[in-house]
Amino acid sequence: MSNTSANILDIKNIEVRYDNVILALHDVSLKVPKGKVVALLGANGAGKSTTLKAVSTMLASERGKVTNGSIEYDGNAIDKQTPSQMVGLGMVQVLEGRRCFGHLTVEENIISGAYSRKLSKGDINQELEKIYAYFIRLKERRKSQAAFTSGGEQQMIAVARAMMAKPKMLLLDEPTMGLAPQLVAEIFNIVKELNTKEGVSILLAEQNTNVALKNSDYGYIIETGRVMLDGTAQSLLNDDKVKELYLGISKKGRKNFRDVLKEESLTKRSN
């Protein structure tokens, strides 16, 4: 059955439990239109990773289960698939924390992403060159052991590895975690490029609200396993609540760490 709808991913009211008891997602619904970048925003423990793993079917390996609702990918329901079948269908997840194969070289890491495809040696080299065009840095380090590369390079390896599977859709779980601002920008530039040039649809979980929204088409904000707010990226960036809670900008002016400390010391002195 071919997919005629405009959405590559359609999550309807899913509930997820771990170990049959712990309720991680109460009610999450979201859509990813074909060829778009959608940001999934929220604090630690809000349910971002759980949502992504429900989609990639990696939940089972952590004793998690979708106990209610439905997920449709490319027009077909996801329920009995294994992660490797999902990769075969063109859905690849880049796990939180990069998770490179430390003892393999950079190039071996990237090639391992093509495992699910039947490619000849020549095809693999051709694909590699295509990938290196996006990740120029990695080409220089192709022979290094992945564990000895920097955090930013490891994130690039993880994305490059996923791209070798020729995905229609990428699930990126906190790709900028712990990276310096220039690297955050570099990673997002690459993601944006992959989206526009390769036509990959992207669902992106991030805590880095500002940068994520600036590079997305649409955004969802989740808290304690529920979608609290959604809208176009532009409307979320201009939303007062989002500004206050996630971007650290209140109406009174910029609220930063120094202001908080100052307020605290003032209240202490008055006591």
Partner 1 sequence: MVDELLFFMEVLVGGLLAGTMYSLVALGFVLIFKASATFNFSQGAMVFFSVLAFCGFMQDFNIPFVLAFILAALLMVVVGLCTERLVLRPLMNASEDTVLMATIGLGYVLEGLAQAAWGVEVRRLDLGIGDFPVPWIADNLKLFISALDIFAGLVAALMIIGLFLLFKYTKIGLGLRAVADDAGAASSIGIPLKHIMLLVWSAAGVVALVAGCMWGARAGVQFALVDLALKALPVLIIGGFSSIPGAIVGGLIIGATEKVLEVYIGPFFGGAIEGWAPYVLAIFFLLYRPEGLFGEKIIRRV
Residue numbers of the site for partner 1 (CB under 8 A)?
Answer: 56, 58, 60-63, 82-84, 86-88, 92-95, 99-104, 108, 111-113, 115-116, 145, 147-148, 161-162, 164-165
Q: Which is nearer to partner 1, 29 or 112 (CB)?
A: 112
Q: What is the dihedral of CA 262, 268, 270, 271, to 10 degrees?
A: 170
Closest separation in Å from C-beta 115 to partner 1: 5
- Please, which residue, 48 or 243, has the CB nearer to partner 1? 48
Smallest separation, CB 81 to partner 1 (Å): 12
57/209 with CB nearer partner 1: 57
140 Cα distance to chain centroid = 26
d(CA 100, CA 111): 12
d(CA 138, CA 164): 14
Minimum separation from the CB atom of position 62 to partner 1 (A): 7
Is the Cβ of residue 100 or residue 221 nearer to partner 1 in the bound state? 100
Cβ of residue 198: shortest distance to partner 1, in angstroms? 17
- CB of residue 137 to partner 1, shortest distance in Å: 17
Please check whether residue 51 is in contact with residue 40, taking contact to mean a CB–CB distance below 8 angstroms: yes
For partner 1, which is the closer residue by CB, 95 or 229? 95
Which residues, including other chains, have CB under 8 Å from residue 268's CB and lie 6 or more apart?
none
Closest CA to 104 of 113, 95, 96: 113
